[in-house]
Amino acid sequence: MKILKLLTRILSIIQYCNIFNLHKFSFNIDEYVNWVEVGAVTPVKNQGNFGTCWAFPITGAIEGLNFIKSNKLISLSEEALVNNDYPDLGIYGGNYHKAIKLIVNNGGYLPSEKEWPYNINNPKKKNYKKIINYNNPIPSMKITGIKKINNNNYALKQAIKKQPVCIYINGYSKLFTSYKLGIYNLTIYNNVDHGVLLVGYDTAKDYWLIKNSWGEKWGENGYMRVSMKNNPYFEAFVPIANNKPL
């Protein structure tokens, strides 16, 4: 069974990475999706002691989209979003819609992490528009909006098969912040207060895979597996490129 499952995963990755169909990436395997293994997810980042979690899933989702469209994984700048979120520099919270609005208002593009690195301890005010190279923009497609995903396992699976998904989750309970390993049972449903990136699932082992922005020392090298049981409550969104969802 282990060999069969391994072969199934390998086949799904080969199918997904068909270089002749980069613009039509899609997992057809219902049991397992992992964008990290495919290569569409940048290394785990660290927001530090600031309320900037909202910026990281947006950049992560767009990084994934850019990989799907161009087969290039480029780390994008959270600092561009945080520094342009007035009046508090985004360090006391924000939201996905505000982040997408900032991107849309600046041509639909983001600078790379290399051009404008995350350094919230010493913010350097810059003109967002002047950083973007509109002749050779990153990402390779224009971000034009955001779409909400219905809160049920089926809808989330259909979305994550196509691209990484931004979600809000209850993330400041003691059990969540102290998570080390294993499959986490989400027991609080009526309060979502933390932004993370949904990057996969495994129905055989009954979990969602999320990428956090608290560094690699948290959780399973910066990731968490969340139980699929009882339809855990997420508020889920995906960025839209060129006015068309994948």
Let me know: does 213 contact 44? Beta carbons within 8 Å.
yes
Rounded CA separation 234/160 (Å) = 13
- 53 included as an active-site residue: yes
Rg (CA), the chain: 17
**Total number of residues shown for the chain:** 246
CA distance 163 to 22: 12
3-state helix, strand, coil in the chain (%, to 5): 30, 20, 50
Helix or strand holding residue 183 (H, E): strand 183-184
Task: Report the phi/psi class of residue 189: left, alpha or beta, with left for phi > 0 and alpha for psi in -120 to 50.
Answer: alpha
Phi first, then psi: give them for residue 57, nearest 5 degrees: -65, -35
Catalytic residue flag (residue 212): yes
The number of C-alpha atoms within 13 Å of 108 and in the hemisphere containing its C-beta is: 16
Q: Among residues 34, 66, 106, 194, which one is catalytic?
A: 194
Residue 127 among the catalytic residues:
no
| C-beta of residue 209 within 8 angstroms of C-beta of residue 228 | no
Q: Which of 245, 160, 148, 173 is CA-nearest to residue 209?
A: 160
Q: Spot the catalytic one: 53, 83, 106, 170.
A: 53
Catalytic residue among 83, 84, 170, 212: 212
Catalytically active residues are 53, 194, 212
